[in-house]
Amino acid sequence: MELEGFVEAGSQEAALLKQIDKDRLPKHVAVIMDGNGRWAGMRRLPRVAGHRAGIESVREIVESSARLGVQVLTLYAFSVENWKRPRSEVRTLMELLKEYLRLELDSLHKNNIRFRAIGRIQELEEPIRKQLYEAMRITEGNSGLLLNVALNYSGRAELVDTFNRLLAEVKQNGHTPSISEELISRFLYTSGIPDPDLLIRTSGEMRISNFLLWQIAYSEIYITPTYWPDFRRKHLLEAVLEYQQRERRYGGI
């Protein structure tokens, strides 16, 4: 694994890495990045300080996932429901997104990472849309880690959009196909991508928050009490190791 030589010899990360079976890595890891506000509150800082601190976790987890050999990483960055937050907080989140793309796009491209935004991107403001589409265009030929960032996303909204796209195709073609799981999956935002093997949620909350409702049917769920701004490479390795210690039955015995 490329992480060897990247983690410090004799460190806790190195010890965790030795226990991980490189042949049984999760192909797709999805993350509900939660706890920024509480992290800031514990330090008597404004909530936006938590969001800004969380950017460093994004950098480290993206880089670590790529080096580890994960094929797809999906980060839940902004939900449809997040528009209910104070306008100033929403504005800050959008500015942080633009800042991340401006500062990290070259690094993503150089590290062969493909960037993709999923969700109702068309509803975002034009400057943000332009940056997102540009990032996707620049990195579309890369063959390493696929980084999905879920923006203006909800699992129910995705299913509504999926069935609307399916209905539009039916009207265009003039015939009704037999509905199957494979057909529905073809119209999801994540079409062509394997479903998450591992879903990580930070901050200790026991809920899935309307995230990838169709895709996580058989995902292994890992809950950590660690707030997102404190989530680092060590925590990712702990989650992967826990995943490898489970037996996935997919409804069987």
Q: What is the pLDDT of residues 58-81, one digit of tens each?
A: 999 999 999 999 999 999 999 999
pLDDT attached to residue 3:
65
Q: Which helix (H) or strand (E) holds 153?
A: strand 146-153
pLDDT attached to residue 249:
80
**Least confident interval from 9-13, 106-110, 232-236:** 9-13
pLDDT attached to residue 31:
99
pLDDT attached to residue 98:
95
* pLDDT, tens digit (0-9, with 9 covering 90-100), for 81-107: 999 999 999 999 999 999 999 999 999
Per the prediction, the chain carries an average pLDDT of 95
pLDDT attached to residue 197:
98
Residues 6+ apart with CB under 8 A from 14: 7, 8
- Tell me the C-alpha distance between 156 and 210, whole Å: 7
pLDDT over 70 (residue 4): no
pTM above 0.75, yes or no: yes
CB contact at 8 A, 155 and 214: yes
Phi and psi based region of residue 251 (left: phi greater than 0; alpha: psi -120 to 50; beta: remaining): left
Which residues does the annotation mark as catalytic? Answer: 34, 82
CB contact at 8 A, 219 and 248: no
Compute and round to an integer the Cα radius of gyration of the chain.
Answer: 19
CA 157 to chain centre: 17
pLDDT over 80 (residue 251): no
Q: Which domains does the chain have, with CATH numbers?
A: 24-154+195-244 (3.40.1180.10)
Q: Comparing C-alpha atoms, which of 197, 71, 194 is closest to residue 142?
A: 71
CA 248 to chain centre: 21
pLDDT attached to residue 8:
86
**Regarding predicted confidence, which is higher, 72 or 249?**
72
Sheet holding 220-223, edge to edge: 114-118, 146-153, 72-79, 28-32, 198-201, 220-223
pLDDT attached to residue 36:
97
User: Sign of dihedral through CA atoms 17, 20, 21, 25?
Assistant: negative
pLDDT attached to residue 1:
56
CB contact at 8 A, 219 and 198: yes
Task: Assign 236 a pLDDT band (cuts: 50, 70, 90).
Answer: very high
Residues 6+ apart with CB under 8 A from 33: 54, 57, 58, 75, 76, 77, 202, 228, 231
Tokens describing residue 30: 């999805």
pLDDT over 60 (residue 160): yes
* pLDDT, tens digit (0-9, with 9 covering 90-100), for 108-138: 999 999 999 999 999 999 999 999 999 999 9
Query: Maximum Cα–Cα distance for the chain, whole Å?
Result: 64
- Tell me the C-alpha distance between 71 and 200, whole Å: 16
pLDDT attached to residue 104:
97
pLDDT over 80 (residue 253): no
- Tell me the C-alpha distance between 126 and 213, whole Å: 28
